[in-house]
Structure 1
Amino acid sequence: MSTGFTEASTIQKALVKWAVEGGWTQVPGDELPRHTTDVLITDWVVDALVRLNPDLDRAGDNVSIIVAELRAAVISAGSDGLLAANELMTTILRGNRTFKDVATSKSVPRRFIDFDDPASNQYVVADEVTLGSRRFDVVFYVNGFPLVVIETKTPVGKKITWLNAAKDLVDVYQDDYPSFFATNLFQVATDGHDLRYGAVAEPAQAWSRWGDMDGDPALIGPQRVERDARLLLDPFMVLRILRSYTLFAHSGVAGSRKLLPRYPQVQAAEAIHDKVLTGRPGGLIWHYQGSGKTFLSLFAALRLLNDPHAGDPTVIMLVDRTQLASQAKETFLTGGMPRLEAPQRSEELHDLLRGDYRGIIVTTIHKFAEAGFLNARDNIVVLVDEAHRTQEGNLGTQLRAAVPNARFFGMTGTPIADTDRNTFKLFGDPGDPGFVMSTYEPERSIADGTTVPVYVESRRVGFDLDQDALDAADEELAEQEGLTEDQHAYIASKVARKKVFFSNPDRVAAVCVDIVDHYRAKFAPLGLKAQVVALDREMVVAYKDGLERVITDRGLPYTVELNMTVTGGKDDPYAKYELDEAAEEKQKKRFTDPDDPLTFLVVTAKLMTGFDAPNEGVIYLDKPLTRHTLFQAITRPNRKYTSPDGAVKDYGLVVDYLGMDKAIDNALRTPDLDTPGQKRTVGVNELAGRFVVQIATTMTRFAGIDPDDDSFEALTAALQAIGVGDARDDFAAKFLKLQGMWEFLDPHPILAKYAAEYRWLAKVYDAARPHDAAHELLWARVGPKTIALVHQHMENITVTHRGGRAIIEPAALIALRDLTDDGTVEPPTDGGEDKPAEEMTVEEVLDSIEARIQRRLTTSAHKGVYESLAKRLELLRQQMLAQPDDAVGYLMKAFDVAKLTVRAERMEDEGTLAGNEALFDPNIGALSQIVAENKPAGVDVVVEKLAAEIDAIVKLVAFTGWTEKDEGAKKVKSELRVLLKRYGLPIKGEPFDSAYAYIRENY
């Protein structure tokens, strides 16, 4: 009878079995042709060396010298350090190290592993391998080099886990016998329930799981251990990781470290490699925030450059800051990395590409400005990190014109899918499912332990507003200032903006106290740091000052800094806060340094992306974020982290002062899972032809005016050519049509040819629009006084915890990303001084929609439609003023109006709006949505038609006060049931219940 389950009889035996089935040959540890003090199996090493280098004689001096140098490199782990020896051996094993030939005195590269014909190598798995007084459970040898070491623990031990096994390898075995790990590719620790792998000198808590992007993300236990072991320990995968998926990084704060890939990076890089070699288009890689997209680009570049079938390509890695490019060269030009350049000036980049440079170029898109044509080769590969707005627009067009036959691969965690900018359109391949070639979802990332879950705590910042007293004071001020009725209305509309309430000094002080108290209790003990996101630059300074006052008053050891966009102009009131690139990098290093007192970073838009701070535990959100920036914000604290004291970060937290929890709840209930990439259905080349005709026709209006003449006289002549009244409206309509074509086509290569004319027309159009400086002067005179009145009448400001802590489920992250990316709103043409162009407040979203509606009101024959939409916007503004703490909820409602506006424009342009005006009635729209969401599956109904009939019949039979009288309610219910029955829908349950509830509330 068996004595019971042991690690040797269970998981250790199973690992050897799976390895043999995967192509390894089993040799018991005590039968290996080696002494117990040997790291290398010398006979096997020499066999491979002679086989792969035919000029070598097995008995010759060169072989003896090479073997001696290999042993010296292995032994150097004890003197020079394990990481240095491991990097040296990695270079040697990749065939990137030369050895001196005795006969010729020349340095000759030598091969030890056949990467081109992997099957020709010798693969051996051995158990119970002894080295001195230690015994390693399982060791994997390739051509005599021990590349993988596995430590196992019993699967039936109550308190022993994979972590104990990993700590044995890191804290005991590597210290006692560092030379045995000089050739190590990776280590594995498992207890049969979980399996993790890690690099030499990597803390055990940071080890990762392997996996499969096509596999079940919820798979756990022994089944996942078997799947992951078979995939990770496949002999060809081991060689692939050694050759192309291992990096050594050397940086100041982090020090030196070995970087191993995660399986999503390998699978995505392999997909890039396959596309390039088969001549297919580029594509979009959509991986969750914090999953390592920058390293993915480096791994993909290595994979391509190491494959002779790729034709010695040029790989351009686009990053968003020049400092990152320089750091990449300094950090990664090690360990046998192929040629890598990071040109400092645009001219250097242009010369490299004109000179047909082969290798890696790390640069920014800005260096392609005015580059012109540079290289027509089709094996130029462009890998774009954070592929969203920064790679679109005019610079993106110039980049594609410079390398017209290149393949573009975009990496993003927050793609944009709106009518103006579309990451799917820009990078997606229509041949890929949903225009995405690789997806790594939040739920898979969290299940893998690649990122940590994110929770949200909601606060309510309440106050009492003495409206009567405020109205009286406001009227008195208006009388003192001699305001007309229109001027008074204008001032009132400005004061209604949310910032007036946000900027109350007492509110800022109350929130700062709450932030410090919360951080001190929850995150300071864990050694984690915090970001505070404020409304705009003025509020960033206010929060910095407020936090510093609280910290100073309490004698706490924290410091606060801010980071925001500063124009640098002499008139910029925030010029003293400007950070150059070097100062910003220093600030970020201080924030990520656990020993630095910099604890709070206050921002408004910067550092929301492209800033990897694993020790950021919490983000305090007091700004209504929109579109993809909301998704970026709530995923900021999701990075894994273990403090120097061993405290493990189990989750990230968002403390929300604005009511974002409602948007997350909506995302959970009604996620929009439509494929964004499928929005592009128009024939692009046909549209490009129409664009050329349209811009040529529009320019004829300005015959005789030189577009290169930037004088005031030339602008005046252009405005005179436009005319006034109907003529000006006609020009505006033509330009807006042209603008729509441009935005849709971008980055089509045809645009580069007409970019100058288009920009000139845009400036003329902007100059032709009505301008009103009087309002600005009025606000400068009266605005501050009015804001002071509002602040004086805000009393009893409190910050209260709404109770509970809700986890942001991975599915909600995906759905929220979809909701916030659903932008039909026109972004600001520039970001102003406070924020980049992609960042918009709710008020600006409303202003943008209103401007779009107003343009149509001046020219449309269907004014009733746009007037209805304008009324809905005004109602939304009033609701925001009455209850200002649900910014994201209002944003969602604003997007609904924006969608209707775009739909109305499209139908009007297509000539189908006539007769369908009722579809834009808010009640009909709401009823349409109710029917669509609640009708039985398989029942086909034209929901808009049914909704219009319900609206018409209810208006006919309802009367004032009908909801209070039985006969009124009965009549409405009866007519509603008749309509539903006629359309084949149930008259009990849904959609009847929801439709009637809406009617009772809104009619």
Structure 2
Amino acid sequence: MARREAERDEVERPFIDQLVSMGWTHVHGPDLGAERSYDEVFLTKRLAAALTRVNRLAENGEEWVTGTQADRAIGNLRRAARNIAGRPLLAANRETTDLLLHGDLVKGDEVHHHGTDQKVHYIDWDIEDPERVQRNEFLVVDQFRVRAAGAGKDGEVVLDLVLFINGIPVAVVEAKSPDVKDPIGKAVRDLRAYTGNPLTDDGRKDKERPRGVPELFASAQLLIAACGETAALGTISAEEAHYAPWRSVTPDYRDDRALRRELEETRTADGRRLLEPGAELTEQHKLIAVVLKPENLLNVIRHYVFELPLKVKEGEPAKTVKTVCRHQQYRAVEKIVRKLRTGRSPLDAGAENDERGGVIWHTQGSGKSLTMAFLARRLHSSRDPELNRFTLLVVTDRTQLQDQLSAAVRVSGSDIGVATSQADLEGRLERAGRDGGRSVIFAMIQKYLGSIPGLGDTRGDDRALAEDFEQARERVAAGADPEEVADPKPDEATKRAARREFRECSDSPRVLVLVDEAHRSHTSVLHACLRDALPNAARIGFTGTPIMKGTRKTTGEIFGLEPGGGFLDEYRMREAERDKVVVPIRYEGRTGPAHVRDKRELDEKFEDLIAPLDGDARQRIRNRWAPPTGRDVAESTSMIRAKARDMLHHYVLGAMQFGFKAQVAAVSRRAAVLYRNALRDVRAELLARVRDEFGPEAQEALRQKRSEEYTRDELLLLRAWHYQELLRRIDFVPVISAGDEQKSGVWREWTDKDKQDEHVERFLEPFPDLPPDNPWEVVHGPAEHPVPEEAPVPAGGLNPWSAPGPSATVPAAKPPIAFLIVKSMLLTGFDAPIEQVLYLDRPIQDAELLQAVARVNRPSPGKEEGRVVDYYGVLNNLAVTLAAYQGAPPTLGATRLSDGLPALEEAADLVELFLVGLGVEDLSSRAKVSEAMLTLHDKEQRATFDRLLRKFMGALDRALPHEDALWQVPNAQSWTLLQKRVRRHYRDAPGGGFSVRGYGRKVRALIADHLELPEIEQAIAPVSILATDFDEIVDRIPDLRESAAEQVQALRYHLEERAQRDDRPVYRQLSKELEEVLREFDGRWDKIKERIGPLIERARDAEQPDSEVADLSPLEQRLYAQLGDRLSDHPSFAVPDTAFLRTLTQEVCAEIVDRVKLARYTGDDGDVAELQSHIWQRLRRAGLRAQQGGLGPLQGLSNSLAGYAQDHLESFRAEGRAQ
């Protein structure tokens, strides 16, 4: 099946059939006919009819919009959509979206509105009323042709599917055959190209990408990439990584089986089932069934699409990105809405407690803040008065978390208030649920409750965490309840004391309390207070951490559990990793046990920690600290310095070179400050080593070694040399609470709230001017302050000998912060995608451990995993550190670095078995690689090789830098070299080139040098036969078969590319002769090489302009060739002489330019017909006559030239401007 047929039959047609079964109307694009012109993106006739249908008087339902008012509203919408010149598409989309959501203001009717201004709504958004939903027209158009503003036929593109509501394009679907490689990625890249804002890593040249038609996307809210087997949802500004599949069908369907039954029972107009029994229910089915159901689409566009601010470097203009909910966020919010609608409040008859609550357990990092924002928008933008009057009270227990949540919810458009005191909170709550009280209130209620276990103020808390950890372990060993030890519950007396702090503020049932971190036992205290302050409120608990068995009962009593004891919604770590909502976490241990059981174990731990020091230093520490306590060891300056050295080395070898940052969790506030000093000291030590030990001689010696042979210390010095400019500038900043030292101000820089906020903001900012991620380019140049001074500092890629740190030419005003050092602050609820490593040097257990580990799982471009490096042994024995979960410990969400080794070995075996199956067993020489390259002549085999190699490279990237993974690096180098040769030889990739951007960054850094060795590059022929050294390199290939095959592939690629750009007869003839040669001399490479040479020369000759027209413009030269080909190939015309053809070319070109440069020329059918008429007259005046056939041949020639002009309209217009 041809690719286009596969897209139509396996993707587009099932997509359309399912939409039609849900109430959509389908029209084939060309059948729209006179309803539109190609440069109009709106279906204005349908829109005008919808405006009359949608806008009705509230009192009697009569239509009131006149034709004049409809025209005005349509005109304003069209102007907003077309106003893209000189401003980003996102700005035009914002203006258009505002009109769609809120309507356009027009002068009202004198009779009905007494002349007052009224809103004309383009869409009826009332999803609660099925009859009003049906007032909208839902139309899907396939093969929708649209022309870019000001462009001609060469500016036209055909979209696979465009979804309209009332004639307004709101969604665009790009379909790809499931048989192509990476169909969803290809679809996303095409979608972004259509928007006129292609992805930065698209990799295709401008002429290879689809033409941009941004006007169509000015009103588009959703973009969908589909391939039949799956589909991914995104927006106009979403990166490829942000397109997400839709895996849930609840709450619209009970489960997947319910959707399957519906699809199996539904038949198309011609009797086909939407899903045959036994066929797979795909993610495309799910996305269509949920997102594109008419009322749901209205719901998603109105409530689940936001613009979010992006983090930018200091001094850069603000940026936003348009985002749409993921399936788990939509699912959770809609379940909450259903509970609010169907559950009983305490005021309803027969209700003993509130029945509208529940618990949302969504794993750490899965978008809880945005889920709350979507909920606020869903409630407050609803047309249902039962929903839009709700006041939301969001209760958090940390200031930083409150700031983060309030910033996220602010994009919902709801009024936001942050309670600054108990009196302020009570005043706000008095208006809750009443007229004028609709808002979102944030409060930290525990701040007003005094000293309550689990809630008390921990500012300046310098408890000995190590001793607390040991005491807790001993209590559990003695028989105490591990859960009570980990999270002690307040007693009844404490609850009663807390309840006296709050009075009743509102008895309205239109209050929804959202409690963050609902897994904590102190939630019962908050509940007691809130029950008094808001006795009839609904309550939803959010948690990102598994709830302990005992706490689960209490949590259920507070928020309510579903039948069977389940939560209202769950989204676990495994799902989040599969959806790429979070990145996987890997951990590695650096020391011994997490706790000290006895004197002998403490001594062993002590000796373990001082092992890196020399003998005299070890003895001095023994004398000072013997017998040491656990805290003594943890706060020892020498111990901290030794660990800080290891942390910095680990950071330089890993996260720093990719632009990521780190966090240190220390055992005490004092230890946090000591870590800052130690990290600064060991940084100076490392830079000194670079200066003294890594001069030109050391560098040259290292260049002589293969990268996989570098020792860890050699690689450390190399990386530090690369990134010395950044390494010199980075800062290490404690963020700790204030204590008794506050009066002296000794730690004010680290404890002051304003300074902490500034430090966190700087930590979240990217490093300044990171080197470009180009592993193939090596450019050498001087740095401003190189270390050592006489050593040249390269600037460029990621391979071991390119890519230094950022340029020193524009020093940052303040040093970039690379490390945050904390005790307890920022270990929970801190959302920092730029953080990749957590260095753990403190005891930590149970829920706090699960939350701390999740600090590094936030996704960020280029971040393929998070790392936890354990210096305290916390992760060595999860039965101890997660004891509170009583025999059923939850998944930690992190795996050991070594856990990836078996998968790596398996993936390597699969690649090796595949190659051996083809007879490829040795790639040690150039000749062997060439032989393997020719063996992979079958396209399907090449696709299989790519797939297996991609799996292997991914496994290698996940296992690195584990030393047992390094032995696979030679395989990675050999196999990617073969892949490079194969891709270049068969010209499989766009442009005929080769890129390994799909591989992990650690792997790319290791294979880059090998792929760019001069002896390798010099053996690979250029992509194009027009390259000056093509013949020279091909002639140097010793193997006759390889040499001839290279010529065949190069010529075939050249002819296919030229045929797409300029379909001249010479290219068609050469392609025909090439295939004849291959058929006639099948396998006889000497004969093929003998015949292929002249064909290549003729192809080159076709590129050379005739000497007679060398002085003409490039466009005139191309038109000269077109005219010559057309006249020579047509039997009715005599072969023209050069002088006549030259003159004729200039006259025809001038005629075309004169016509298309007119402002009124739009390129529609009438314009093209008029252009053809003028060309015909010009040909006649020039004296061109057909020898036979009358006027028909001349008519045909003028038609083809008008078509050529339209296909190259921009070139002819540019010619006019140049004149």
Helix, strand or coil for the counterpart of 2:565? helix
Aligned to 2:303: 244
The 3 A distance-change label for structure 1 pair 395 and 673 is same
Q: TM-score, normalised by structure 2?
A: 0.49
The 3 A distance-change label for structure 1 pair 260 and 649 is same
1:450-599 correspondence to structure 2 within 5 Å? 450-460=581-591, 497-555=629-687, 556-557=727-728, 558-567=730-739, 570=742, 575-595=747-767, 597-599=816-818
Higher alpha-carbon deviation: 96-105 or 305-314: 96-105
Helix, strand or coil for the counterpart of 1:85? helix
Aligned to 1:259: 323
CA distance in 1, matches of 2:230, 2:896: 38
CA contact (8 A) 2:838 2:869 kept: yes
CA contact (8 A) 2:406 2:442 kept: no
The 3 A distance-change label for structure 1 pair 525 and 107 is farther
Residues 356-410 of structure 1, C-alpha deviations (whole Å, 9 max, x = no match) = 3432223123387755221100111112233344963655533332211111111
Report the alpha carbon displacement of residue 195 of structure 1 after superposing the two structures with TM.
2.4
CA distance in 1, matches of 2:233, 2:243: 5
CA contact (8 A) 2:29 2:144 kept: yes
Residue identity opposite 1:410 in structure 2: G
Which residue, 352, 363, 379 being the options, matches 1:288? 363
CA distance in 1, matches of 2:395, 2:876: 37
Aligned to 1:205: 241
Residues 91-128 of structure 1, C-alpha deviations (whole Å, 9 max, x = no match) = 33233664443755633233222232323321111111
Which residue, 72, 94, 98 being the options, matches 1:91? 98
Q: Which has the larger radius of gyration?
A: 2
Asked if 1:31 is matched to 2:31, the reply is: yes
Helix, strand or coil for the counterpart of 2:14? helix
Q: TM-score, normalised by structure 1?
A: 0.59
Residues 435-468 of structure 1, C-alpha deviations (whole Å, 9 max, x = no match) = 52111111111111211211111223699x9999
Report the alpha carbon displacement of residue 65 of structure 1 after superposing the two structures with TM.
1.4
Which residue, 48, 57, 78 being the options, matches 1:46? 48
Aligned to 1:11: 11
**Which has the higher relative contact order, 1 or 2, with Cα contacts under 8 A spaced 6 or more apart?**
1
CA distance in 1, matches of 2:576, 2:406: 29
Asked if 1:277 is matched to 2:341, the reply is: yes
Report the alpha carbon displacement of residue 668 of structure 1 after superposing the two structures with TM.
12
Asked if 1:232 is matched to 2:273, the reply is: no
CA distance in 2, matches of 1:539, 1:805: 32
Aligned to 2:135: 120
The 3 A distance-change label for structure 1 pair 637 and 197 is same
Helix, strand or coil for the counterpart of 1:197? strand
Helix, strand or coil for the counterpart of 1:611? coil
CA distance in 2, matches of 1:121, 1:416: 45
Aligned to 1:445: 576
The 3 A distance-change label for structure 1 pair 468 and 562 is closer
Aligned to 1:162: 184
1:589-628 correspondence to structure 2 within 5 Å? 589-595=761-767, 597-628=816-847
Aligned to 1:873: none
CA distance in 2, matches of 1:157, 1:669: 49
Report the alpha carbon displacement of residue 297 of structure 1 after superposing the two structures with TM.
1.2
CA contact (8 A) 2:143 2:160 kept: yes
The 3 A distance-change label for structure 1 pair 41 and 385 is farther
CA contact (8 A) 2:246 2:283 kept: no
Residue identity opposite 2:865 in structure 1: Y
Report the alpha carbon displacement of residue 190 of structure 1 after superposing the two structures with TM.
2.9
Residue identity opposite 2:765 in structure 1: D
CA distance in 2, matches of 1:421, 1:434: 9
CA distance in 1, matches of 2:511, 2:302: 21
Number of positions where the alignment pairs a residue of Structure 1 with one of Structure 2? 657
Report the alpha carbon displacement of residue 25 of structure 1 after superposing the two structures with TM.
1.6
Report the alpha carbon displacement of residue 583 of structure 1 after superposing the two structures with TM.
2.9
Helix, strand or coil for the counterpart of 2:361? strand
Report the alpha carbon displacement of residue 88 of structure 1 after superposing the two structures with TM.
2.9
Identity, in percent, stands at: 27
CA distance in 1, matches of 2:140, 2:66: 28
Aligned to 1:658: 872
CA distance in 2, matches of 1:506, 1:322: 34
CA contact (8 A) 1:457 1:656 kept: yes
1:65-144 correspondence to structure 2 within 5 Å? 65-95=72-102, 98-101=105-108, 106-116=116-126, 117=130, 118-132=133-147, 133-144=156-167
Name stretches of at least 5 consecutive residues in structure 1 with no aligned partner: 472-491, 643-647, 677-800, 810-1003
Helix, strand or coil for the counterpart of 1:228? helix
The 3 A distance-change label for structure 1 pair 446 and 49 is same
CA contact (8 A) 1:250 1:330 kept: no
Helix, strand or coil for the counterpart of 2:6? coil
Aligned to 1:354: 430
Report the alpha carbon displacement of residue 19 of structure 1 after superposing the two structures with TM.
2.0
CA distance in 2, matches of 1:807, 1:428: 44
CA distance in 1, matches of 2:836, 2:761: 16
Residue identity opposite 2:88 in structure 1: G
Report the alpha carbon displacement of residue 266 of structure 1 after superposing the two structures with TM.
1.0
CA distance in 1, matches of 2:402, 2:876: 40
Helix, strand or coil for the counterpart of 1:6? helix
The 3 A distance-change label for structure 1 pair 5 and 134 is closer
The 3 A distance-change label for structure 1 pair 582 and 415 is farther
Report the alpha carbon displacement of residue 221 of structure 1 after superposing the two structures with TM.
9.3
Helix, strand or coil for the counterpart of 2:821? strand
CA distance in 1, matches of 2:96, 2:525: 46
CA contact (8 A) 2:418 2:442 kept: yes
Residues 724-762 of structure 1, C-alpha deviations (whole Å, 9 max, x = no match) = xxxxxxxxxxxxxxxxxxxxxxxxxxxxxxxxxxxxxxx
CA contact (8 A) 1:638 1:651 kept: yes
CA distance in 2, matches of 1:379, 1:322: 26
Aligned to 1:300: 375
CA contact (8 A) 1:320 1:390 kept: no
Residue identity opposite 1:182 in structure 2: A
Report the alpha carbon displacement of residue 602 of structure 1 after superposing the two structures with TM.
1.1
1:253-402 correspondence to structure 2 within 5 Å? 253=312, 255-278=319-342, 279=344, 280-305=355-380, 306=382, 307-310=384-387, 312-320=389-397, 337-342=413-418, 346-355=422-431, 356=434, 357-366=436-445, 370-389=501-520, 392=523, 396-402=527-533
CA contact (8 A) 1:128 1:135 kept: yes
The 3 A distance-change label for structure 1 pair 628 and 332 is closer
Helix, strand or coil for the counterpart of 2:863? coil
Helix, strand or coil for the counterpart of 2:245? coil
CA contact (8 A) 2:53 2:135 kept: no
CA distance in 2, matches of 1:223, 1:22: 17
CA distance in 1, matches of 2:882, 2:229: 31
Name stretches of at least 5 consecutive residues in structure 2 with no aligned partner: 58-62, 148-155, 198-211, 261-278, 313-317, 345-354, 450-500, 605-623, 688-726, 769-815, 904-1219
CA distance in 2, matches of 1:425, 1:495: 48
Report the alpha carbon displacement of residue 272 of structure 1 after superposing the two structures with TM.
1.0
Residue identity opposite 1:85 in structure 2: A
CA distance in 2, matches of 1:417, 1:671: 6
CA distance in 2, matches of 1:589, 1:120: 48
CA distance in 2, matches of 1:76, 1:319: 43
Helix, strand or coil for the counterpart of 1:163? helix
